[in-house]
Amino acid sequence: METEINTGATGVIDFLESANLKTKRETFDPFTTPESIFRAILYGSALCMVVLLFSVFLTLLIWSLPSIKEFGLRFLVSKTWDPVAGEFGALPFLIGTLITSFLALVISIPFSLSLSIYLGEYAAEGVVPSFLRSAVELLAGVPSVIYGFWGLFILVPVVRAVEVKLGVTPYGVGIATSSLILAVMIIPYSASLGREVLQLVPAELKEAAYSLGATRFEVIRRVILPYVVSGVTAGNILALGRAVGETMAVTMVIGNSNVIPQSIFAPANTMASVIANEFTEATSTLYVSSLVEIGLLLFMVTMIINILGKQIIKKMSVQV
Amino acid sequence: MQRDKFLFRLLKDRLFKTAVSIFSFCSILPLVFILFYITKNGIAVINWQFLTQLPKPVGESGGGISNAIVGTLMLLVVACTLAVPLGISAGIYLAEHKTGKLSYLVRLCVEILHGIPSIVIGIIAYVWIVKPLRTFSAFSGGIALAIMMLPVIVRTAEETLKLIPETLKEASLALGVPYYKTILKVVVPAGLSGLVTGIILSIARVAGETAPLLFTAFGNPFMNLNLFKPVNSLPLLVFNYAASPYPEWHGLAWGASLVLVVFVLLLNFFAKFMTKKWKVRF
């Protein structure tokens, strides 16, 4: 009985109900009292989230069945994407996604890490840091289509000029441009995660190092970074998940070419951008189904990345 | 010698701090550039006609984006109507059942839902709504946006309501107030500002979304108030007109970008302001 009461209000309710309202319950239909209707609604809407996720997964799976049956595992390794001949292989898009996301991550890491160190360690209070923090938050709030639009009109000419200087084919659009845009888009995300992780470092550890005469740089390098390395990695994994799923900005500046890119300046297509470009044009069942299968892959990849990243961060917070 | 070593350490410290500061400030340069170009190109086209007229065909100057503004509002209203009640009641469930198998599963599912790429949500809404109804529609776009709003609302609602002290609830229950009234009249009002902040944040998240609307709301050069017909929206208009080869349409796209950015950033500011001013504190 004690445990029941200690579980809080619900426990109290159950206790009261079982004690006093027993006769009432038997005479009334339990599904018509406001009490039980309310509880049923809460339960139902919570269950709804689970149902929603599973139906999303099942829908994707069912719609990609024709393509899975037709191509099997060949879908992942074939490099021919030819809607006219009805031959679909997703390799160019897998490679496109892989290169753009990793390149974006590599570009973003120095910036996001600096930001989290600066905001977390050097300047937590004050006008400049709070301005910086708001700016980063705003950067995260800008819609992706705006990034794409801006990239198309401002960044593409710049990249084209660079390409002319380098002596490669000056497309302007392509993997390099999309990676730059993606990097800008994921910096706020990994920076804010990084800052949160930095705050988990126990003050005692830092103070101990300072009291031994370490400079700030040495404290960051030898105490803080080793402590947060898994958390920061997790933050970057989550940022990678963002980059993989990002659609609009990439679609606008990647140049939409369905062959395997030969250099980082070449136009390409990512999994998300090929869906965005071709889904409304897809006429045959197999075509649609192949695009949905790419969507299914995208769904599973981002899901695995997200769960992995969140688990690492959760583990870290529990340790502290 | 000893002194040199010490100076070298200090120098390294200085250098590191400088490098970190430079990198930090560099990372907000894109924001400055984006806001600068959008304001510069957007201000030039924005006037009263721009907000109240329909887009003109290619070749005619002027024209506006009224259809996209109305379409965006329609999509957001549909999405909110669906997502807000469902999201908040799921949030209440999670806050009330902190442990338990279902709560754990629901939390996991909400997390995964949050991470689904927006383009995949577009496919889902297409398969569920557009295909059976055989037409692109504002309704299907609203559903897509609602699916994207749900995780944000559920999470913020849970986080907020968890902060409401148990004693408040117990006091109400002790007075003989039934459970559902306690939740609706005591717990929810106490956390109202947090709930509203969550809703605003979720609107800010989806207001700029284009990918889920590509094959649901689809876009429409005319004014449309019918829920079951295609509508235009600001991000869709930016995407379609930016990709076009006509300078007049680029002008419209810059203007629409400015309107969209101002709208989204205002929502973010407002949400931040609310969390600061009316934070749920006990």
How confident is the prediction along chain B (282 residues), in pLDDT tens digits per residue?
A: 788 888 999 999 999 999 999 999 998 899 999 999 999 999 988 888 888 888 887 777 778 899 999 999 999 999 999 999 999 999 999 999 988 899 999 999 999 999 999 999 999 999 999 999 999 999 999 999 999 999 999 999 999 999 889 899 999 999 999 999 999 999 999 999 899 999 999 999 999 999 999 999 988 888 888 899 999 999 999 999 998 888 888 888 999 999 999 999 999 989 888 888 776 666
For residue B272, the chain A residues in CB contact (below 8 A) are 137
| Exposure string for A147-164, b = 16+ CB within 10 A, e = fewer | bbbbbbbebbeebbeebe
For A107, the token pair is 């570009």
* The pLDDT of residue A26: 47
Q: Tokens at residue A38, please?
A: 């309310």
Check whether A151 has a pLDDT greater than 70: yes
pLDDT of residue B47: 87
**What is the predicted pLDDT for the residue at A133?**
87
Q: Do A114 and B24 touch (CB under 8 A)?
A: yes
Give the pLDDT score at A127: 87
* Partner-chain contact A146 B89, CB within 8 Å: no
pLDDT score of B60: 75
- Asked if A145 and B238 come within 8 Å (Cβ–Cβ), the reply is yes
**What pLDDT score does B213 carry?**
94
- In this prediction, residue B2 carries a pLDDT of 80
**Rounded alpha-carbon distances, angstroms, from residue B16 to A200, B22, B150:** 22, 10, 42
Residues, chain A, total?
Answer: 320
> What's the pLDDT score for residue B146?
97
pLDDT at residue A269 greater than cutoff 70: yes
Residue-wise pLDDT tens digits, A3-33: 444 445 555 556 555 555 444 444 455 567 8
Contact A252 B147 (CB under 8 A): no
Which CATH architecture is the domain A76-319 placed in?
Orthogonal Bundle (1.10)
pTM for the full model?
0.90
Helix-strand-coil percent breakdown of chain B, rounded to 5? 75, 0, 25
Q: Cβ–Cβ of A139/B154 closer than 8 Å? A: no
A281-293 confidence digits (pLDDT tens): 888 999 999 999 9
Q: Is the torsion defined by CA of A76, A77, A81, A82 positive or negative? A: negative
Q: What percent of chain A is predicted at pLDDT more than 70? A: 89
CB contact under 8 A, A145 and B210: yes
Compute φ and ψ for A142, nearest 5 degrees: -65, 130
How far apart CA A194 and CA A109 sit, in angstroms, is 11
**Predicted local distance difference test score (pLDDT) of residue A23:** 46
Q: Could you give the angle at the alpha carbon of A38 between the alpha carbons of A36 and A42, nearest 5°?
A: 115
Query: Looking at beta carbons, which pairs linking A315-318 to residues 24 or more positions away fall under 8 Å?
Result: A315/A230, A316/A197, A316/A200, A316/A228, A316/A230, A316/A231, A316/A234, A317/A200
Residue A76's pLDDT band, with cuts at 50, 70 and 90, is very high
Please tell me which of the candidates A9, A118, A136 has its beta carbon nearest to residue B166.
A9
Locate tokens 């239909």: which residue? A29
Task: Please check whether residue A160 is in contact with residue A265, taking contact to mean a CB–CB distance below 8 angstroms.
Answer: no
B60 has a chain A CB within 8 A of its CB? no
Residue A11 has a pLDDT of 57
Helix (H) or strand (E) holding A25, with range, is: helix A22-27
DSSP B213: G
CB contact under 8 A, A42 and B116: no
Q: Which residue has the higher pLDDT, A230 or B278?
A: A230
List Cβ neighbours of A226 (8 Å cut-off, separation of 6 or more).
Answer: none
Which pLDDT does position A20 carry in this prediction? 53
Chain B closest CA to A120's CA: distance in Å?
12
Tell whether B89 is within 8 A of chain A (Cβ).
yes
pLDDT value of residue B55:
84
Q: B113: how many CB neighbours lie within 10 A of its CB?
A: 21
Q: How far apart are CA B30 and CA A295, in angstroms?
A: 30
Q: Which residues from chain B sit within 8 angstroms of residue A307, using beta carbons?
A: 108, 111-112
Question: CA angle, A41 as apex, A39 and A42 as ends, to 5°?
Answer: 65
> Can you tell me the mean pLDDT for A193-198?
90
Nearest to B238 by CA among B101, B71, B81: B71
B12 touches chain A (CB under 8 A): yes
Instruction: Evaluate whether A53 touches B124 at the Cβ level (below 8 Å).
Output: no
pLDDT tens track for A231-267: 999 999 999 999 999 999 999 999 888 888 888 899 9
pLDDT attached to residue A295: 96
Q: Where in the sequence of chain A do the CATH 1.10.3720.10 domains occur?
A: 76-319
Cβ-contact B220, B67 below 8 angstroms: yes
Radius of gyration of chain A (CA): 26
pLDDT at site A55: 96
In chain A, whose CA is at the least distance from the CA of B24?
Answer: A115
Q: How many CA atoms lie within 13 A of A20 on its CB side?
A: 6
Q: What is the distance in angstroms between the Cα of A88 and the nearest Cα belonging to chain B?
A: 18
Each residue's pLDDT tens digit, A85-134: 888 999 999 999 999 999 999 999 999 999 999 988 887 678 888 888 88
pLDDT band of A169, cuts 50, 70, 90:
confident
